[in-house]
Amino acid sequence: MILLINRAITDILNNKFLYIVSIFTITISIFIVSMFTLFFVNTNKIMDSWEKGIKIMAYLKSDKNIEENRKKILNLYGVKEIKFISKKNALNLLKKQMKRQSSLFTNIESNPLPDAFEIKMINFAKNHKKIDVLASQIESLPFIDDVEYGEKWIVKYINIFNLFKFTGYGICVVFFITSIFIVVNTIKLIFYSRKEELKIMRLVGATDNFIKNPFYISGVFQGFIGGILGILILFIIYLMVLTNVDKEFILDFINVRFLSFYEYIILILCSIFSGWFGCYIALKKI
């Protein structure tokens, strides 16, 4: 094992330039992949908190069977809690919220607001697709005039976010494949530059494993170093962004966090795998 590692280190030192290029490519790939991971982890958290705050407002027609209607809605799947807000309460609430614009209400003769139900959902139903279904079910009830879930715009954001997500996945896959092919190329170049040496090794009784194992070690090494560097660069950029952006904005609105230990490990394992797999492809037919 010691001899094997020695041979791998000697090999790396003898082909520094090729290995640096290969590690650089893996570093860039892992940097981009981890950047997307960081983005998705944080935006997912934001979307999740937004989704969890969603309530459905169901505005009622002038129907006096409040209790009966409440029961009908409560029977629908996904509804957790219903609060009746009378038109009078709604107006008071509005006035409270718009204290500074109180003059707006002075000329109002009658209350224009309808009675409404504020509907909260069970956690399982707090998914924009399920909210959509529930909202249209409520809207179809005869005593409902209109349904609104204030965060309707979230759905649009979620769609854009999903588009980003899939583009991100695509870019990650492209970079992952690129880094594998750079490793393949590096290993093949080194292999061919040492063809005569490897031929001699075979003639003195070296097995395929004896010849190939140092290449696998160097592949894993490339992946490991590339992974560490990629994450390190992202961490430095993350710290730079954090120190330059308004902290209140970050803490109140986004609450950004860096990758967890588990995510580091996954990224570094992916990086090591790309090094190993590149090596495997390069040496498969040799």
Partner 1 sequence: MKLEDKIKKDAIIRMFHVNRKYGSVYALKDINIEIKKNEFVFITGPSGAGKSTLLKLCYLEEKLTEGQIIIDGINISRILPKKIPFLRRKIGIIFQDYKLILTKTVFENISLVLEVSGHKISYIKKKVRSILRTVGMEEKINSYPLGLSGGEQQRVAVARAVVGNPEIIFADEPTGSLDKITAKKIMELLKSFHNRGTTVIIATHDNFLINNSYGRVISLKNGKIIKN
Contacts to partner 1 by CB under 8 A: 2-3, 14, 197, 200-208, 210
C-alpha span between 45 and 39 (Å, rounded): 10
**What is the nearest approach in angstroms of partner 1 to the Cβ of residue 160?**
56
Read off the tokens for 119. Answer: 């509907």
> What angle is formed at CA 222 by the lines to CA 1 and CA 275, rounded to 5 degrees?
90
Q: How far apart are CB 213 and partner 1 at their closest, in Å?
A: 12
Closest approach of partner 1 to the CB of residue 220, in Å: 21
The helix (H) or strand (E) run that includes residue 256 is none
Of 126, 192, 113, 181, nearest to 155 by C-alpha is 126
Give whichever of 82 and 198 is closer to partner 1, judged by the CB atom: 198
* Terminal alpha carbon distance of the chain: 23
Nearer to partner 1, 14 or 111 (CB): 14
d(C-alpha 231, C-alpha 150), whole Å? 39
130 or 194: CB nearest partner 1 = 194
Q: Identify which of residues 1 and 75 has a Cβ nearer to partner 1 in the complex.
A: 1
**Helix or strand holding residue 32 (H, E):** helix 16-52
Q: How far is the CB of 199 from partner 1 (least distance, A)?
A: 8
